[in-house]
Amino acid sequence: MSIEAHDWLDHLRDIRRLSDATIRSYRRDLAAWSAFLAEYKLSEEEAGQSEARSFMARMSSRHMASATVNRRLSALKGYYEWRRRRIPGTENPFIGSRTVKKGRRLPGFLTHEEIETFLDYTGEGFTGLRDRVLFELLYSTGCRVGEICSLDASDVVRRQVRVRGKGDKERMVFVGTKAAEALEEYLPHRLKHSADDSDSRRALILDLRGERLTTRGVYYLIRRYAALTGMAKKVTPHTFRHSFATHVMDEGADIRTVQELLGHSSMSTTQIYTHTSIERIKQVYRLSHPHARRTVNSGGNDA
């Protein structure tokens, strides 16, 4: 990658305050573009729209996920716009490229019973209490895994949690009774277990070494518990987030509220959860519409 590409990534990290995961993804996107240009012995300055179209066509021919293609396009457009502002005469070869249409993929989620099964497998002692708090917070708040791992103990005040989301935006989320009880039992163990450095003493969720639990550590724990419970479906930290959104919408929460709780900047991102309310809507219709209700004399079927 060029010096300018490294400078842009530094800008995104230090000024835009994008997450480490986003920076890593953009670094891979830039590296893929650099490798493509190297095949044709072209520099970033020499690349034009024909090369950009060929690059997009190659990704499509390799059947890359539409979300990955669109993120890569967004990264490269953003990078060249940044270059254009810094270097006079620079053109953006991706300016005419269009995003790939995404297929509608419904997110997987756990039922209430499956959530309880996960929690039932947590044991006693520090690790058991830690795991229970972790799962309760993921499900009770709907937070992203990175948001949970970045929580400090001071971010939890009674039943409210201050969360730092994407773009370093803060929002308040809430914990339920079970999550609050788990936290109350866990916090004394956390104090005894934390390592002797400032970040560990601040961190809410700790690993076995007493240091802040990483997102990779959370993935490992969830895979282990999924295996222990014999759960057939794939379970990730995001599954808990999907389960949170699914269940609160099934209970009647409006989409604007769910958008705020999840920290979505766009309503369209939240709308994917509306599919989960279909059965509830059917039930309301059957109970409320005169021609939808079964009558004693009609013997007809439900609408």
pLDDT digits (tens, 9 = 90+) for 213-227: 999 999 999 999 999
Catalytic hit among 159, 166, 171, 189 = 166
What's the CA gap between 150 and 169, in Å, rounded?
A: 13
Annotated catalytic, 144? yes
Question: Active site includes 212?
Answer: no
pLDDT digits (tens, 9 = 90+) for 86-124: 888 888 999 888 887 765 555 678 888 999 998 999 988
pLDDT of the residue at 300: 44
In the 3-class helix/strand/coil scheme, how is the chain assigned residue by residue?
Answer: CCHHHHHHHHHHHHCCCCCHHHHHHHHHHHHHHHHHHHHCCCCCCCCCHHHHHHHHHHHHHCCCCHHHHHHHHHHHHHHHHHHHHHCCCCCCCCCCCCCCCCCCCCCCCCCHHHHHHHHHCCCCHHHHHHHHHHHHHHHHHCCCHHHHHCCEHHHEECCEEEEECHHHCEEEEECCHHHHHHHHHHHHHHHHHCCCCHHHHHECCECCCCCECCHHHHHHHHHHHHHHHCCCCCCCHHHHHHHHHHHHHHCCCCHHHHHHHHCCCCHHHHHHHHHHHHHHHHHHHHHHCCCCCCCCCCCCCCC
User: Has 275 been annotated as catalytic?
Assistant: no
Domains and CATH numbers, the chain: 3-86 (1.10.150), 112-277 (1.10.443.10)
Q: What is the pTM for the complete model shown?
A: 0.60
Q: How confident is the model at residue 63 (pLDDT cuts 50, 70, 90)?
A: confident
pLDDT the model gives residue 40: 87
Q: Which of 72, 241, 242, 247 is catalytic?
A: 241
Which one from 80, 139, 225, 273 is the annotated catalytic residue?
273
166 is catalytic: yes
Active site residue 294: no
Instruction: Say which of 144, 164, 242, 247 is annotated catalytic.
Output: 144
Alpha-carbon span 7 to 3, nearest angstrom: 6
| Identity of residue 248 | V
Quick check: is 6 catalytic? no
Instruction: Give pLDDT tens digits for 251-288.
Output: 777 788 888 888 887 777 676 666 555 555 665 667 67
